[in-house]
A = this chain, B = another copy of it.
Amino acid sequence: MGLSDPDWDIVMRAPLFKAMGPTISRAMIGDRGPKTYARGERIFDEGDPADGFFCLLDGWAKLYRLREDGEEVVVAIFSAGETFAEVAMFLGGRFPASCETVSPARILKIDAAKLRRAVMDKPQLAFDMLAAASMRLRHLVDEIEHLKARSAPQRIADFFVRQAAESSGPARIALPYEKALIASRLGMKPESFSRALGKLADLGVVVERESVSIADVARLAAFADG
Contacts and interface: CB of A to CB of B under 8 A. Distances in A.
A91 B19 CA distance: 13
A193 to B, nearest CB: 14
Interface stretch (A21-29, A68-76, A100-108): A68-76
A92 to B, nearest CB: 8
Q: Give the number of times this chain occurs in the complex, counting copies.
A: 2
Contact of A149 (B73, B116, B136): B73
Interface residues of A, number: 40
Contacts of A90: 127, 130-131, 133-134
Interface in A142-179: 143-145, 147-149
A131 B92 CA distance: 8
Contacts of A127: 90, 116, 119, 126
Interface of A: 65, 67-69, 71, 73, 75, 87-88, 90-92, 96-97, 116, 119-120, 123, 126-127, 129-131, 133-138, 140-141, 143-145, 147-149, 187, 225-226
